[in-house]
Amino acid sequence: MAVSWAAPTRNRARLEPGVGGGRVRRVLERAARDAGSDWPQFRKCRCAPLVVTVVDGERYFVSMLGNDAAWVKNVRAANGHATLRSGGREPVLLEELAASERPSILRAYLQRAPGARAHIPVDKNAGLTEFEQIASAYPV
């Protein structure tokens, strides 16, 4: 049986500030839910590489796929408990922001994560009022 080393290596990759367009990527590890259940099964873990958006010294994750992203559902089911991996492991408690607090973070996210621009229907340089209109659809 062959062992794939490419995926784990790819998932551990990280870009430091100032490298690769200034993007910082971390791997978010969280408990997985059983299919059709909102209750986390802590024997299983799922990992997702995410772009960290820093605004006013605070770190934020944005779901470019909206509320239906698996990592969002899993973190919600685990009451915000997750682990960041980047060299080491950092247990974190993620708190979802109200839609009214999201517009400036969504704009900063689109400026840092070019791959997300196809998924979020607002230009990265748009005004905050345009981001206010879509904020409830994209968890931060």
CATH code of the domain in which 31 resides: 2.30.110
More confident residue, 55 or 31: 55
Looking at the domain assignment, is residue 99 inside a domain? yes
Range of the domain at 113: 9-137
Average pLDDT over residues 52-73: 90
Query: Shortest CA distance to 33 belongs to which of 70, 85, 65?
Result: 70
User: Do the domain assignments include residue 35?
Assistant: yes
Domain annotation covers residue 1: no
| Average pLDDT score, the chain | 76
Q: Is residue 117 part of a domain?
A: yes
Give the mean model confidence (pLDDT) for residues 31-49.
Answer: 59
Q: Is residue 4 part of a domain?
A: no
Which neighbouring-strand residues pair with 59?
54
Number of domains forming the structure of the chain: 1
Query: So what's the pLDDT on residue 125?
Result: 94
Domain contains 109 = yes
Q: Where are the beta strands (DSSP E) in the chain?
A: 25-33, 40-51, 53-55, 58-60, 81-86, 88-93
